[in-house]
Structure 1
Amino acid sequence: MPHSSGFGSEFIKDVLRRGDKAIATARNVDRLKDLADLSAATLQLDVTSPMSELQAEMDEAVKIYGRIDELGDDLLKQFQTNVFGAINVVSALMPHWRERKSGFLVVNSSYQSQWGLLPLTGACFASKAALDPLLGYIKTLTLNAGHFRTDVTAPEKLDTFLPVPSKNYQHLKDGLVDLAKQLHRNQPGDTRKAVELTVDMVRGEGKAKGRQIPARTWLGIDAYREVKAKCEEDLRILEEWKDAIEATDVSVNGSC
């Protein structure tokens, strides 16, 4: 039940291409016409709605096909959507999953939420990082994607994505806006290929056939390179400070 743009749209297309059924959701269902034309069912959904409304929407969604297999001030807004919204949707679906005794959740996060924080993006990336431990008790695949060709860097999205707490931070926003303009439509990642791999991992097919599926994965060469470099840096620091780190333990032989 992905949402309406970027990865969400590609998930719907890939699921339909494989012969499965899909429900596309958005706050404004008019944005879903292209997916409806591909035979996706559509449903109005605001993940920040009260739980009673979400459960009513989930009941309506289940009625469409009889079942659902789930693939997906500023700080509060980000957590309402990315954390509490996701948890609310999962909570509304849990009775259905318990009844079926199965369910697989795919969480669309970002490698930058833990490995590459940028100025003014703290609320967004913190909310994405918060989902990992909170959803860990469900069969979950967390996607930590690099830069993919979605509309997140579109000029009209930047005011929402990059709030400025005061004029003292305007220069930071200006720098990120320039970076976003350079990235827009030049990102290295292909959303269709990323979605194809993700669905393969959920179903144990294609590139994932015969492999142990991890709880999280990274998507895109930029994510691979930056996370690998950060891990190597952390390993170097651990070795460099090993004696000092170990010296903080309670002594096993009783000495101070």
Structure 2
Amino acid sequence: MDTKKVWLVTGASKGLGLTLVKKLLDNGYKVAATSRNIESLKNAVNYSGSDFLPLQVDLINEQSIEKAIANSIEKFKKIDVVVNNAGYGQAGTLEELSDAEARENFDVNVFGALNVIRKVMPHFREQNSGHIFNIASVAGFIGNFPSFGVYCATKFAVVGLTEALSAEAKPFNITATVVYPGYFRTNFLDEGSLMLPKKPIDIYTEARAIEELHTSQIRGNQTGDPEKAADVLIELTKQENLPLHLFLGSDAYLYANQKMETIESEMTAHKTLATSTDY
């Protein structure tokens, strides 16, 4: 009897999503995978077996998502694990980015994941099981660097909705994990995956320096191995108790601990004044 889980992975034509899909197929899992361009997805995965279902999906179109989930269930009879991986980076200070640039980043990074959750939950509730990985970023926990405010805000939103989802879905034996990757050696910082502001303001020199740092020095030298990240996600689904929060990578742990130390210090320093507000 085949007891291996069926996975649905969004944003699977490149980056961590592509690495995960390949790893799953190599290990005998059944995988439905989505991309905006199905030919790019097929070429990237390069797998012709029956365990792979490539799907062309527009994540901001609910009907497109609903059809993809129905097709996945029709082929594999169920879905056990969803990985909301699709997303892109948007650089630019809050003043520089247009309303359209900011909203588009939220549409893909937040509402895309929310649309998938909304459409897969009836299936998960019916089978009384399921797990959802929402791929955020360590930038969903820390936001104190110039030029990535909107991107950080999208990932903070993913964290918040995942925490709520975990509580809402618990009565139905459904679990959720928000993943906070640090820097992994994928194409996330390449042109097309990291968008720069269309109308930069020259005076924001620190923001430009941060962007240059990411595109010329960090890109290609990231600490994290996406193969090992995929291994972690697969291994977690074999465990009985999955975490709600998963910081992924040594750098993610470093940044998160720095943030927690700062919060603890500030709370302690201002506790007397800040708690003087009770009746």
Normalised to the residue count of structure 2, the TM-score between the two structures is 0.79
- One-letter identity of the residue aligned with 1:131: V
Question: Is the counterpart of residue 23 in structure 1 residue 23 in structure 2?
Answer: no
Q: Distance in 2 between matches of 1:55 and 1:168?
A: 44
Would you say how many aligned residue pairs link Structure 1 and Structure 2? 241
Aligned partner (choices 238, 245, 253) of residue 216 of structure 1: 245
Aligned position for 1:207:
none
Aligned position for 1:253:
none
CA 1:104–1:13: 2 relative to 1, 3 Å = same
Q: Distance in 1 between matches of 2:74 and 2:45?
A: 19
CA deviations over 1:204-237 (Å, ceiling 9, x no partner): 1xxxxx7x43201101111111111221122122
Q: Distance in 1 between matches of 2:119 and 2:39?
A: 24
Q: Distance in 2 between matches of 1:6 and 1:107?
A: 15
Aligned partner (choices 257, 263, 276) of residue 234 of structure 1: 263
SS at match of 2:134: strand
CA deviations over 1:42-84 (Å, ceiling 9, x no partner): 11111012x2332122212221212122131112101111111
Aligned partner (choices 141, 154, 159) of residue 114 of structure 1: 141
- One-letter identity of the residue aligned with 2:176: T
CA deviations over 1:144-186 (Å, ceiling 9, x no partner): 011111111114544x2x3244433663553133212101110
Rg comparison, structure with higher value: 1
Aligned position for 2:274:
245
8 Å CA contact 1:120–1:164 kept in 2: the answer is no
Aligned partner (choices 57, 65, 73) of residue 54 of structure 1: 65
Question: Is the counterpart of residue 175 in structure 1 residue 209 in structure 2?
Answer: yes
8 Å CA contact 1:36–1:42 kept in 2: the answer is no
8 Å CA contact 2:18–2:44 kept in 1: the answer is no
- One-letter identity of the residue aligned with 1:152: F
Q: Percent identity?
A: 27
Question: Is the counterpart of residue 71 in structure 1 residue 105 in structure 2?
Answer: no
Question: Is the counterpart of residue 10 in structure 1 residue 19 in structure 2?
Answer: yes
8 Å CA contact 2:178–2:246 kept in 1: the answer is yes
Q: Distance in 1 between matches of 2:65 and 2:203?
A: 37
- One-letter identity of the residue aligned with 1:65: F
Of residues 85-94 and 129-138 in structure 1, the stretch that sits farther from structure 2 once superposed is 129-138
Q: Distance in 1 between matches of 2:113 and 2:79?
A: 15
Whose strand fraction is larger, Structure 1's or Structure 2's?
2
CA 1:85–1:157: 2 relative to 1, 3 Å = closer
CA 1:27–1:156: 2 relative to 1, 3 Å = closer
Q: Distance in 1 between matches of 2:141 and 2:37?
A: 31
8 Å CA contact 1:148–1:187 kept in 2: the answer is yes
